[in-house]
Amino acid sequence: MEATLMPPTETASPARQAFLDLRGYLSEQVLGQAALVERLLVALLADGHLLVEGPPGLAKTRAVKALAHGLEVDFQRVQFTPDMLPADLTGSEIFRPEEGAFRFQRGPLFHNLILADEINRAPAKVQSALLEAMAEHQISVGAASHALPRLFLVMATQNPIEQEGTYPLPEAQLDRFMLHTRVDYPDRATTLRIMALARTEARDARELPPPPRRLAQETVFAARREVLALTLAEPVAEYIAALVEATRRPEPYSAQLAEWLRWGASPRAAIAMERGARALAWLDGRDFVTPDDVQSIAPDVLRHRLLLDYGAQARGIGAQACIDELLRQVPAP
């Protein structure tokens, strides 16, 4: 199926043109991380959450700050630490002497965009509180539940280098992240551009320049409706289902996969793959989804959802090798 790009200025909807402007702004502020910028927009369009893994200093924090700068939203960064408590995220009941009663004081989760920095440094109780927020768009304190904002996105980061004082994320929480994106070092030319940008920001008190316009939340919701209205042909839907099924029952597709995989992806992975592929097609200006869209988003959808056999791990085989084999063996329409 051949993809035809829609001219961005003449036929793009107002919502899509606004997202194209936002992508241009993010690309100017986050140099050398085009994949991260794209995945942030995909997560926003698909109403999902994003886990970003990479060494320090690769603009992970800057990316989500720039996104918040380009939207009419509230932003909160939370630095996760081993001594953190659930109330540090959710808030707690505070006694008001003047009222003689307890009142709920909202925590940082009640913002639209949350940067969960070094999420794997927080203990299990804190992870549980975040899991409820990501899964249910609400938090529970005592016997009461409190709804979170309608537009709610968590971008979590973790450092693959330092393992001391970290807690592995439970599989249930990993499954709540729509995408797991890895970022790497930029090339030399991009590093020179980053240095020039840093000199400019030093003169401007390290503030991000204003975007051409800030997207209203209603524009985001309108874009989401357009994404869900895209055509998804039955063969492409079958392809998504086959990819996810092959992670659970790989024997008909590949003996290697059957040897490597211990546990496959949940139905939530199929939903994430479909919505991510729709978002990519919409950003490219198409009104239909292609197998290429599915193959492009599949690694970030599956990377954190596959559990490998101990023998495969001992031989240095990672999730990416499994995904590459999966995409080779499952026939595309």
Domain borders along the chain are 14-221, 230-329
CATH for the stretch 14-221: 3.40.50.300
Dihedral sign from CA coordinates of 187, 193, 199, 200 = negative
- Edge to edge, the sheet with strand 179-182 lists 75-79, 113-117, 153-158, 50-53, 179-182
Using the structure block, give the residue that is written with the tokens 């009142």.
Answer: 103
3-state SS, the chain, equals CCCCCCCCCCCCCHHHHHHHHHHHHHHHHCCCCHHHHHHHHHHHHHCCCEEEECCCCCCHHHHHHHHHHCECCCEEEEECCCCCCCHHHHEEEEEECCCCEEEEEECHHHCCEEEEECHHHCCHHHHHHHHHHHHHCEEEECCEEEECCCCCEEEEEECCCCCCCCCCCCHHHHCCCCEEEECCCCCHHHHHHHHHHHHHHHHCCCCCCCCCCCECHHHHHHHHHHHHCCECCHHHHHHHHHHHHHHHCCCCCCHHHHHHEEECCCHHHHHHHHHHHHHHHHHCCCCECCHHHHHHHHHHHHCCCCEECHHHHHCCCCHHHHHHHHHHHCCCC
Residue 149 and residue 224: Cα distance in Å, rounded? Answer: 16
pLDDT string in tens for the chain (333-residue length):
334 444 444 467 899 999 999 999 999 999 989 999 999 999 999 999 999 998 888 888 899 999 999 999 999 999 998 888 888 998 888 878 887 788 888 889 999 999 999 888 888 888 888 888 888 888 888 778 889 999 999 999 988 776 665 777 878 788 889 999 999 898 999 999 888 888 776 555 567 888 888 999 999 999 999 999 999 999 999 999 999 999 999 999 888 888 999 888 999 999 999 999 999 999 999 999 999 999 999 999 999 999 888 888 888 888 899 999 999 999 998
* pLDDT score recorded for residue 4: 40
CATH of domain 230-329: 1.10.8.80
Q: Which residue from 69, 29, 35 is spatially nearest to 50, judged by alpha carbons?
A: 35
Contacts of 297 by beta carbon, 8 Å cutoff, 6+ apart: 42, 179, 273, 276, 277, 280
- By CB atoms closer than 10 A (0-12, 13-18, 19+), residue 11 is exposed
Q: What is the pTM of this model?
A: 0.89
The pLDDT of residue 11: 65
Contacts of 234-238 with CB under 8 Å at 24 or more apart are 235/333, 236/277, 236/289, 236/290, 236/291, 236/294, 236/333, 237/274, 238/333
Residue 13 and residue 16: Cα distance in Å, rounded?
5
Give the residue among 15, 89, 28 at the shortest CA–CA distance from 63. 28
What does the block give as tokens for 291? 């197998």
Which pLDDT score is estimated for 3? 40
Q: For residues 63 and 37, is the Cβ–Cβ distance under 8 A? A: yes
Q: What are phi and psi for residue 300, nearest 5 degrees?
A: -70, -25
pLDDT of residue 223: 96
